[in-house]
Amino acid sequence: MTATIPSLARRLDSVQSSAIRDLLALTAREDVISLAGGLPAAELIPAQRVREAAAAVLSESSAVQYGETPGWRGLREVIAARESASLRRTVDPAEVVVTHGSQQALTLVAQALVDPGAVVVVDEPAYTGALQVFSIAGAEIHALPIADDGMNTGELEQRLRDGLRPALVHTVSNFHNPRGVTLSDVKRRHLAELAARYGFWILEDDPYGEIWFDAPPPKPIAAHSDRVIRLSSASKILAPALRVGWMVAPKRVCDAVELLKQGADLCGSSMTQQMTANLLSDDAWLEVHVDGLRAEYGLRADALRGALDARFGDRISVSPADGGMFVWLTFHDGTDTTAMLPKALDNGVAFVPGRAFADTAEHAGAARLCFASSPPAMLETAVSRLYSAHTLS
Amino acid sequence: MTATIPSLARRLDSVQSSAIRDLLALTAREDVISLAGGLPAAELIPAQRVREAAAAVLSESSAVQYGETPGWRGLREVIAARESASLRRTVDPAEVVVTHGSQQALTLVAQALVDPGAVVVVDEPAYTGALQVFSIAGAEIHALPIADDGMNTGELEQRLRDGLRPALVHTVSNFHNPRGVTLSDVKRRHLAELAARYGFWILEDDPYGEIWFDAPPPKPIAAHSDRVIRLSSASKILAPALRVGWMVAPKRVCDAVELLKQGADLCGSSMTQQMTANLLSDDAWLEVHVDGLRAEYGLRADALRGALDARFGDRISVSPADGGMFVWLTFHDGTDTTAMLPKALDNGVAFVPGRAFADTAEHAGAARLCFASSPPAMLETAVSRLYSAHTLS
């Protein structure tokens, strides 16, 4: 008798095959410039300071032992203090759960709050990692076409009036992945008001908020509502290998997530959590470091947008880049980016086709390009390769 | 309108409250000697060698960047080589998935293989972390009273003949948590044969197999069957804070778990995975280190068993301790260990009552004691405190 994998076929059939994942394999090819991944620039990860943090915390035996499920107390205190400053109200460390990257928080929140068949509202296009989690949870996903000022809260209100009752509304509030846009302050307040009126949770997914170029984004949605579960991460500003993300949410949500985390992995790494606290609490260093990231990523965004504009002119439009790691490219000449991708790879450049983020014909001509991983000259080469691939299409 | 936590009440109602978890809070009290946790001895964690590993891997930028979902290739190769030696057949790195502690493997395997309502067979008593995971998965849990030579495969065969059709059979094959026993070679082969005949998966949970005192345990169940998903971990022999566990299983199970891991946390830590590879591949050092653990944990096991015997005599029986971290204490005088626990804490000693591992009256007089975390003299003090608490009961 053959041992079977019973749940899998059923549960994963509905999970979109991840174009990002398949493409990450290609980024390993030396000859391909990858604009596909969402990796911070290796040369901008503060490796030396991370080494110092490792040496500092590893002098204590608490850094090698099991830790508490909701995260090392010292790190939760640092995060609570930073969030208090950002939200302009006191956040208690008990309202913080440290997770294994913010992706784990996304999964545990979905486990806690999303029953099979429950409605989850997302942006269109949306972060594929969120789509995957909500699909695995068996959610009924409603996608709202996103605007240049973020989630379409007007359309959301209309659907709520028509009877839609979401358990959860997910958005990447700052420098949206993949759309690049930022939710306006007015819409943040509107979304908060809708959550209060219709009783849903807002999942404010905010890994990029610190990487602004000219001006900080508006106050977090969580500053306007107590129905917000706010996610962020050390991956984009410090180092992905810390695998430290966090959730800031009302205590009862934290309690639920903590219980699920206990089953999921018992606890996080005392070592990387103590290292993260060491790094995040070194205010003087952190300010200089993050300012440096902002400046360099800003240059890269300009380089990519400039090169695209110079090469393609009015055949395309490119989203503004006020921060984060991505721009959203849209072809107006009927180009199908999924069909173009193999030619682009042949020409030594990778991107993620729009269809990976929303399986609608509307985004067939779009693509997400990451400007963060490559220096300006390489971005220019990438665009000229993209241009060759486009010409051949 | 109040935003609700819909799934949670339903899903977690069936999850046993974890006595271990509640007790871990107490182990932080300076005046309590904890025999409750499952922590390796802090002073036996090779902190200096871990520091060296951190320094070594952090000289490469790949150690701070995102990694591959199934784990760093170099670590999977080291694990595959070690497993090949243990199973006496070639294990391919593609049959290895590195997880965030072996607890994450347990969760992802349950997600992949256990539908709500599916039958899962466990030992009675069983590892609480496994009970929790299977409860969250909505499994119908069948517990088989364990014998001195491990899982009761005779009873399992009878139930299979009577029509029981498990998706999964879970056991801690070596130095069982909490029962201390080891599955005999004959029973390993029997279990393998039953899996082939009735088409179920065996989840061979083996975090303690390397910590044997006088002689190594029999070959893994996976040496006898291709229906085995084998879990182990760096937590007990290296350092829990690495949060590195692994699963060795047929490729199709690895593929399923990899896809679920992508949703769960994208990937593990390149840093701690590279550190683990550095440590596990340093054969000469590792052999000396693990021999040292075996010797010291063996002394501690003897000290605890000797002290219990000297104090309580024939009012108790204590499981043998051939390895691992735990002994199973059974009172024959009607003592209810759950009732006794508060008095024990008042007397400055903690343990886990038998009922945490199987909610049956039969284990009301039992307790799990961890000998690993405390040196011999402290174990003797712990037993005299336990004796005082017992006298007061």
Of A51, A198, A270, the CB nearest to B55: A51
Please indicate whether, in this complex, the C-beta atoms of A271 and B242 are within 8 angstroms of each other: yes
**What are the chain A neighbours of B198 within 8 Å (beta carbons)?**
1
Task: Name the residue of chain A whose CA is nearest to B239's CA.
Answer: A64
Helices A6-13/B101-113 angle, 10° precision: 80
Residues of chain B with CATH 3.40.640.10: 58-281
Task: Please tell me the predicted confidence (pLDDT) of residue A61.
Answer: 85
**Min Cα separation B22/chain A (Å):** 11
Segments of chain B assigned to CATH 3.90.1150.10: 12-38+287-392
pLDDT tens readout for residues B344-358: 999 999 999 999 898
Output the six-digit token pair for B15: 């999850």
Best residue of A2, A4, A5 to probe chain B, by most B CBs closer than 10 Å: A5
Q: Are A328 and A178 in contact (CB under 8 A)?
A: yes
Q: Does A69 touch chain B (CB under 8 A)?
A: yes
Q: How many C-beta neighbours within 10 Å does residue A161 have?
A: 9
Q: Specify whether the CB–CB gap between B382 and B374 falls below 8 A.
A: yes
Residues of A in contact with B54 (CB under 8 A): 51, 54-55, 58, 271
Identify which of A61, A227, A269 has the shortest CB distance to residue B243.
A269
Cα–Cα distance measured from residue A218 to residue B326, given in angstroms and rounded to the nearest whole number: 54
Q: What is the pLDDT of residues B268-308, one digit of tens each?
A: 999 999 999 999 999 999 999 999 999 999 999 999 999 99
For residue B15, pLDDT beyond 50: no
Cis peptide before A353 (omega within 30 of 0): no
φ, ψ dihedrals at B178, nearest 5°: -100, 0
Question: Chain B residues with CB inside 8 Å of A24's CB?
Answer: 68
- CATH architecture of the domain covering B12-38+287-392: Alpha-Beta Complex (3.90)
What residue type is assigned to position A273 of the chain? Answer: Q
pLDDT band at B247 (very low <50, low <70, confident <90, very high): very high
Contact (Cβ atoms closer than 8 angstroms) between residue A37 and residue B55: no
Give me the numbers of helices (H) and strands (E) for chain A, helices first please. Answer: 13, 13
In this complex, which of A3, A129, A265 lies closest to B101 when CB atoms are compared? A265
pLDDT of residue B151: 98
For B70-89, the pLDDT digits (tens) are 999 999 999 999 999 999 99
A103 and chain B in contact, CB less than 8 A: yes
Q: So what's the pLDDT on residue B60?
A: 85
Question: How confident is residue B61, by pLDDT bands cut at 50, 70 and 90?
Answer: confident
Q: Are the beta carbons of A98 and A117 closer than 8 angstroms? A: no
Domain A58-281: CATH class, spelled out: alpha beta
* Min Cα–Cα distance to chain B from A374, Å: 14
* Spatial distance between the Cα atoms of A222 and A85, rounded to a whole number of angstroms: 12
Contact residues on chain B for A58, CB-CB shorter than 8 A: 47, 50-51, 54
- 3-state DSSP call for residue A311? helix
pLDDT tens, N- to C-terminus, chain A (393 residues): 555 665 554 445 444 455 555 655 666 678 999 999 889 999 999 999 999 999 999 988 899 999 999 999 999 999 999 999 999 999 999 999 999 999 999 999 999 999 999 999 999 999 999 999 999 999 999 999 999 999 999 999 999 999 999 999 999 999 999 999 999 999 999 999 999 999 999 999 999 999 999 999 999 999 999 999 999 999 999 999 999 999 999 999 999 999 999 999 999 999 999 999 999 999 999 999 999 999 999 999 999 999 999 999 999 999 999 999 999 999 999 999 999 999 999 999 999 999 989 877 889 999 999 999 999 999 999 999 999 999 977
A250 backbone φψ class: left, alpha, beta (φ>0; ψ -120 to 50): beta
- On chain B, the residues whose CB falls within 8 A of the CB of A59 are 51
pLDDT score recorded for residue B26: 62
How sure is the predictor about B9, in pLDDT bands with cuts at 50, 70 and 90? very low
> Over pLDDT 90: what percentage of chain B?
88
**What DSSP string runs through A238-296?**
T-GGG--EEEE--HHHHHHHHHHHHHHHS---HHHHHHHHHHHT-HHHHHHHHHHHHHH
The answer to whether residues A363 and A18 touch, using CB atoms and an 8 Å cutoff, is no
Q: What is the pLDDT of residue B14?
A: 42
pTM as predicted: 0.94
Question: Residue A4 corresponds to which amino acid?
Answer: T
Does the CB of B41 have a partner CB in chain A at under 8 Å? no
Cβ contacts below 8 Å, chain A against chain B, sum to 236
Task: From chain B, pick out residues whose CB is under 8 angstroms from the CB of A1.
Answer: 196-199
